[in-house]
Chain A
């Protein structure tokens, strides 16, 4: 089989992301599928505390999970298993899940329309640029550098700016 999946993140509810199985030629021996999601600190976001994975029934082409609380550089792994719990195929890819910051950025730019003069404030415009570039940098760290740690460092800076938005914006 050729294992493959894609990941999308909701713009409206950024805590939710969807993994879609795009694999081809799945053999008949595969009877179950499991999803693992791990953050840059090695902590499993998936699972229930007893196991590290979420069961992903084969009947469902996609699975949506809603356990993100902030921008997260995540390693997402899918295992395809046989009836004996032996892994037939596995695939893991790092993903930049940064929709919290992107939506906040959109709201900031939208709010400029209410107070157009604010862009003349160099602190505001400078911080806005730094905020934006940290999101871009985090995404690049995963997509080009494949580094969860480097990406989460970038995200943590923009998360802190979001948390202390009264100070920066």
Chain B
């Protein structure tokens, strides 16, 4: 199995945060867990650091931090990989009522991306937001050398997917 991409590692880190937290809180009846518990605080912090640095730091540094996170989440990373292959839930933006998530199945017309289309401009409420894109249950990377990826410009709100959207593809776009 190849190393997870940086985007995948960030997703696994986010999922592992709650897996580790819930695991650590088990076992109170017969005392604490015997194995050394991982720290959900460390995982949450390092995941954010990686997410914030992935586009600004050198690829070597980013890869090093991703490897550190993979080591830190340990066995929970495998569980996270399985969970990430499913579809996620919604996210809530505090205050105003902007769009936070788009779910659609590519059709010949009338959907955010139509059959054969590779790019679209999302509504104005998405300006300035970071997004994650799932396609057919798989989180897409932003690394353009990958065979399947997306690019997102939060200023122009232009979303581009490679390859082109195909009839029946299920997309989930979530603001994060």
Contacts and interface: CB of A to CB of B under 8 A. Distances in A.
Nearest to A91: B103
Interface residues of A, number: 46
B83 interface: yes
A123 interface: no
Contact of A133 (B17, B84, B110, B174): B17
B102 A4 contact: yes
Interface string B80-101: 0001101111111111111111
Contacts, number: 128
B44 A133 contact: yes
Interface in B45-79: 45
For the residues of B in contact with A, the DSSP-based class is mixed
B77 to A, nearest CB: 13
Interface stretch (B18-26, B141-149, B153-161): B18-26
A6 B101 contact: yes
Contact of B15 (A2, A10, A24, A144): A144
B91 A99 contact: no
Given A142-B89, A150-B18, A154-B21, A99 B104 contact: no
Nearest to A3: B103
B89 A96 contact: yes
Given A136-B44, A137-B40, A140-B14, A157 B25 contact: yes
10 contacts: A4-B102, A4-B103, A7-B100, A25-B110, A102-B94, A133-B21, A136-B44, A137-B44, A141-B15, A150-B19
Interface of B: 11, 14-15, 17-19, 21-22, 25, 40-41, 43-45, 83-84, 86-104, 110-111, 174, 176
Interface of A: 2, 4, 6-11, 17-18, 20, 22, 24-25, 62, 76, 93-99, 102, 129-130, 132-134, 136-147, 150-151, 153-154, 157
